[in-house]
Structure 1
Amino acid sequence: MFTIGCHLSSAKGYLKMAQDAASIDGNTFQFFTRNPRGGKAKAIDPADVAAFHEYAADHGIATFLAHAPYTMNPAAAKPETRQFALELLTDDLMRMENTPGQLYNMHPGCHVGQGMEAGIELIADALNQVLTADQTTTVLLETMAGKGTEVGGRFEELAAIIERVERKEKMGVCLDTCHVWEAGYDIVGDLDGVLAEFDRIVGLDRLRAIHLNDSKNPIAAHKDRHERIGEGQIGLEALVAVTNHPALRDVPFFLETPQDDLAGWGREIALLREAHVG
C-alpha cells in the first residue's frame, strides 16, 4: 500500500491529526512532539488516544511519525544543552508509549566545533542512556543536508552512530530527499546508485520513513531549503521515481513542503498518488 501523509499540528490531539490526514487522502502523518523550538509538551488525553486508535483503524492509518524539536542537540559542547536533550528524549519516548509501535524522528545533532567523531560519540551516548529494552518505539536518525557542523550529512555518519548504540534493534533512519540531494547524493541522475550506497553503508532494512521534499537549491548546496513537489531542483519525475522504486514502495512518505494550508498538501498527495504504480 502506498502510504503518504504530511506534517500536521498536534495542538488539537491525535484524533484531529488523523482526521486531517484522511481529509486529504493521507493514510499517515507527522507532527512535532512539542514546539519545534523546544518547551513543554502538551498533556496527552487518554480519551483522545482511544478515539484516535478507533478512527485510525477504520481509515487505514497504521503508522505515524513523531518529530523531535529542532533545539534538541545531544552532540552539543555545553553539558546543560546535552542534559536538556536527554530530558527531552526521555520524556518523548515515554509519551510515545501511549501509541505503541510508532516512529520517532530526530535530527542527530551538531558537533559545534568539537569534531565529527566527538559528535557521533555524544549522540550515541545519549541514545544509550534513553533507549530501553521494553520500548516499542523505533527511533529514526534523519539524513541531513550537511550544513555547518551537522552530523548526518553522510551515510557513514549515521552508520557510525548506530554502530555505537547498544540497542540497535530500536534504531532506524529517515531519508529526507531534499537533505540528501543538498548533501551531494544524486537522487535525480543515479537513484539506484544512491540507494545501493545507503544499503552498503547503513542497510535498507533500517530505512523506515522518507521525507519527500523538493529542494530550492542545486545538488551539494548544503543549505536545507525545502520546496513544493515538482517546483524545485529535484523535480517531479525524480520524486515520483523515489515513490515507485521497488526498494522504497513499502516505506511511508511524509511531505514537509512549504504550504499555506491542508489543501496544498492534498494537491501534492493527489499528484503523487496518480503517478504511483501499484
Structure 2
Amino acid sequence: MLHIGCHLSASRGFAAMGRQALELKADTFQFFTRNPRGSRAKDLDPADAAALRELLTAHRFAPLIAHAPYTLNLCGAEEKNRRFAQETMADDLSRLEHLPGQYYNFHPGSHVGQGIDAGIALIADGLNAILRPDQSTTVLLETMAGKGTEVGGRFEELRAILDRVELGEKMGVCLDTCHVSDAGYDLIGDLDGVLTEFDRVIGLSRLKAIHLNDSKNPAGARKDRHACIGEGYIGLEALTRVVRHPALRELPFCLETPNELPGYAREIALMRRQAEEA
C-alpha cells in the first residue's frame, strides 16, 4: 500500500490537519513546525496533540514529517545564526515529543563561502548539541539540489554529516525527487542506479521518507523549482517507477508540489492508482 500525503497548514492545529488529510485520502502529511520564513511557533495545545495521536492510530497513518523553517542554517557564517538554528530546532524536537515517533526534516544548510568541509562540520556540531538519547523523533537530512553553497547536493555530503553525528540512531534521510534530479542524479533513466549509489554511500536503511515532486528544470540544473506531478522534466512515468520501487514503497511519500488542496487530492489519487497498477 502506498503511504502518501501532502504538505498541510498547521494554522488550525494538529487534529484539524489529521482530519484534512483524511478528506484528501492521505495517510501521512507534512507540516511546518512554525512560520517557514520566521521563528514564531504557536502555543502547543496538549489536548490537540492527543487528539491527533488518536486519529493517527485509528487510521493507521504512516509517520508524519514535521519540517523545520527554511530560515534555519546550522552552518551559517555567524555564530549567532547557528545558535539561533540550534535553539529553534531543539525547541521543535521538544514539542514533537507530544507526537512521538514522527520525523523532523530539515535542509542541512548553506556554508555561505566557508567551504563544504566547514559546512559539514558545523552541521554535525549543531546536531550533536541538539540530539538527545531519549527523544522519539528521527531527524532527517534532506537531499538538496546543490544550488549556490547548499550542503547536501551529493550523497557523500550527507554521509559525511551522518558519520560525525554521535547519536546516529536518531538520524535518517529524506530523498526529494526534484532535488535529486536537479542535483544531477539520473532519476529518470536509471532509478535503480541512483538507489544503488544511495545504498553504497549512505545505506538504504537510513532512507526514511520521500518528497515526491516533479521539477521545472532539467536534470543537473541545480535550481530547485518544484512542478506538479507529470508537468515537469521528471514526468509521471519516472515518478511512477519511484512509488512502485520495492525498496521505497513502504516509506511515507509527501507531495510538495505547487498545489492547493484540490490539486493535492488529485495527485494523491493519481499516484495511488499508479502504484496499484504495478
TM-score, normalised to structure 1's length?
Answer: 0.98
Q: Summarize the Cα distance change of 1:226–1:7 in structure 2 as closer, same or farther, 3 Å threshold.
A: same
Q: Is the 8 A contact 2:50 2:98 kept in 1?
A: no
Q: 1:154: how far off?
A: 0.1
Give 2:274's aligned residue.
275
Aligned residues: 277
Q: 1:56: how far off?
A: 2.0
Q: Where do 1:1-278 residues align within 5 Å?
A: 1-259=1-259, 261-277=260-276
Q: 1:62: how far off?
A: 3.8
Q: Is the 8 A contact 1:142 1:174 kept in 2?
A: yes
**In structure 1, how many angstroms separate the alpha carbons of the residues matched to 2:58 and 2:103?**
20
State the one-letter code of the partner of 1:192: D
**In structure 2, how many angstroms separate the alpha carbons of the residues matched to 1:179 and 1:102?**
22
State the one-letter code of the partner of 2:240: V
Q: Is the 8 A contact 2:229 2:257 kept in 1?
A: yes
**In structure 2, how many angstroms separate the alpha carbons of the residues matched to 1:151 and 1:273?**
33
Specify the SS of the correspondent of 2:166.
coil
Structure 2: which 5+ runs fail to align?
none
Q: Is the 8 A contact 1:18 1:61 kept in 2?
A: no
Q: Give structure 1 regions of 4+ aligned residues with deviation exceeding 6 angstroms.
A: none
* Higher mean C-alpha deviation, range 83-92 or range 117-126: 83-92
Specify the SS of the correspondent of 1:26.
coil
Specify the SS of the correspondent of 1:53.
helix
Q: 1:44: how far off?
A: 1.1
**In structure 1, how many angstroms separate the alpha carbons of the residues matched to 2:11 and 2:86?**
23
**In structure 2, how many angstroms separate the alpha carbons of the residues matched to 1:266 and 1:90?**
33
**In structure 2, how many angstroms separate the alpha carbons of the residues matched to 1:14 and 1:86?**
24
Q: Is the 8 A contact 2:112 2:149 kept in 1?
A: yes
Q: 1:50: how far off?
A: 1.5
Q: 1:55: how far off?
A: 1.9
**In structure 1, how many angstroms separate the alpha carbons of the residues matched to 2:5 and 2:205?**
21
- Percent sequence identity is 64
Specify the SS of the correspondent of 1:151.
coil
State the one-letter code of the partner of 1:11: S
Q: Is the 8 A contact 1:176 1:211 kept in 2?
A: yes
Q: 1:5: how far off?
A: 0.2
**In structure 1, how many angstroms separate the alpha carbons of the residues matched to 2:105 and 2:81?**
19
Q: 1:49: how far off?
A: 1.1
TM-score, normalised to structure 2's length?
Answer: 0.98
Q: Is the 8 A contact 2:75 2:123 kept in 1?
A: yes
Specify the SS of the correspondent of 1:5.
strand
**In structure 1, how many angstroms separate the alpha carbons of the residues matched to 2:245 and 2:90?**
35
Q: 1:32: how far off?
A: 0.3
**In structure 1, how many angstroms separate the alpha carbons of the residues matched to 2:62 and 2:54?**
11
Q: 1:52: how far off?
A: 1.1
Q: Is the 8 A contact 2:3 2:62 kept in 1?
A: no
**In structure 1, how many angstroms separate the alpha carbons of the residues matched to 2:109 and 2:193?**
27
* Higher mean C-alpha deviation, range 22-31 or range 50-59: 50-59
Q: Is the 8 A contact 2:138 2:170 kept in 1?
A: yes
**In structure 2, how many angstroms separate the alpha carbons of the residues matched to 1:209 and 1:112?**
27
Q: 1:53: how far off?
A: 1.6
